[in-house]
Structure 1
Amino acid sequence: MDAIANTTAQELAERYIAAWNETDPAARRKLVDETWAEDGSYTDPLVVAEGRDAIDATLAAVQTQFPGLRFRLGGPVDAHHTIARFTWELGPADAAEPLVIGFDVMVVDAEGRIAQVLGFLDKVPSV
């Protein structure tokens, strides 16, 4: 894939966020399998996950750590070539102010699946 359109990147980012929010293990794994390349990787300051099994386990662990909270896109997805960037938010579904804000860079493979995500945490709750 030489380039991804902003609409394609937006849709892929929406499916990515949906996987983070899916609490049914079978449905979540289906989203991971459909959205991520088999050898895809996810890296943020807290975790490195390589392959679909590790990515799925990371999503499950985050859901356990933050029960009842929901991810949402923080704005439109910006993309060029095979790279997209977007802001996301984590908090209660009905909250105006998120508890956590992050910024992800996503690389898309030739099949239109996520090959890599590099995540950054911009706002985290104080402990």
Structure 2
Amino acid sequence: MSDSRTAELVARYVGVWCEADAEQRRKTIEELWIEDGKHYLDPPAEFRTVATGFGFGFAASTLEATGYDELEARVARSYEEFVAGGEYKFRPRDNAVRLKDVVKFSWEMVATASGEVVGEGLEVLQVDADGRIVADYQFPN
């Protein structure tokens, strides 16, 4: 995967979390992840209680979504919680790197009115030979 393909993957990945159209969101999820792709979240302790409403099941201390339906529920719930009201949006930082089948980058949640960063995290994606996500590891700060 070239640097431009890595940048495109990151832009599309972050963009799906801000996608208002449910049909387009699902289509993008199916394009980004493999059919049984996984999303793992290592949430801050205060988030764990709320996280069950985000479409996750518990696997030890990690929250997990597997397959298109669970991924869609996870992304849609995050969209409704953080983006739909127009108060926040997500954006990638310009630090994406790829090493073999792993892509690593940081993202920010920013207030739309001021541009102030109100949240951030690290994303690690395992991708297949076609550049589709096999496993997605999210570490919000």
| Same fold? TM cut 0.5 | yes
Q: For this pair of structures, how many residues does the alignment match?
A: 119
- Which of 2, 7, 30 is the aligned partner of 1:5? 2
Alignment RMSD: 1.4
Q: Return the TM-score normalized by structure 2.
A: 0.78
SS in 2 for 1:89: strand
Question: Which protein is richer in helix relative to its size?
Answer: 2
Question: Given the two structures, how large is their TM-score scaled by the length of structure 1?
Answer: 0.86
Give the C-alpha shift of residue 85 in structure 1: 0.4
| Structure 1 unaligned regions, length at least 5 | 123-127
1:34 equivalenced with 2:34 (yes/no):
no
Q: Note the alpha carbon deviations across 1:21-75, whole angstroms, 9 max, x for none.
A: 1011001011111111111111112431111111111011111211322110022
Distance 1:94 1:106 in 2: 30
**Alignment match of 2:129 (pick from 104, 110, 113):** 110
SS in 1 for 2:17: helix
2:79 pairs, out of 47, 63, 86, with 63
Structure 2, unaligned stretches of length 5 or more? 44-62
- Structure 1 position 92, deviation (Å): 2.4
Match of 2:94 among 69, 75, 83: 75
1:22 and 2:19 are equivalent in the alignment? yes
Task: Tell me the secondary structure at the aligned position of residue 16 of structure 1.
Answer: helix
Give the whole-Å Cα distance in 2 for the aligned partners of 1:98 and 1:49: 26
State the percentage of identical aligned residues: 31
Alpha-carbon offset, residue 94 of structure 1: 4.4
Displacement of 1:80: 1.2
